[in-house]
Amino acid sequence: MSEICIEFYYKDGDIIRPDKKGKRLYLSNEFNPNSGFHLSDTLICKDFHRLKGELKIIDNHVLDREGNPVTISKDQFADNVLKSKPGFENTDFSGFMPLFEKISMIISDSDSSEE
């Protein structure tokens, strides 16, 4: 079964935006799926099975050289976006438009069938 992440409605640049402490969400394709090492930073993802297969959001088990976690949770990401916290003020919501349009169509169809 495919994993569905609402975060994929955001642009990649918004997904990987760091918070004020420098922590962020990661994309599975940022890591070597065999070693768990980040492709450009000195980080490691200890959750190897999440790095294989389709693209995923990584919100835990990413550590720096000293073993400190460098991720935020999906809830923290959503809170940063909702509250327009520093660095998240200009988040692009355009990826949600097709979803909102479908929901609007469903509501319209439902309302017209009740008449």
Burial of 10 (0-12, 13-18, 19+ CB in 10 A): buried
pLDDT tens profile 90-114: 999 999 999 999 999 999 887 776 6
Phi, psi of 113 (to 5 degrees): -80, -20
The residue ranges of DSSP E strands in 59-109, in sequence order, are 62-63
Cβ neighbours of residue 101 closer than 8 Å, sequence gap 6 or more: none
pTM > 0.85: yes or no = yes
Cα-Cα-Cα-Cα torsion 70, 74, 76, 80, nearest 10 degrees, comes to: 110
The pLDDT tens digits of the residues spanning 25-58 come to 999 999 999 999 999 999 999 998 999 999 999 9
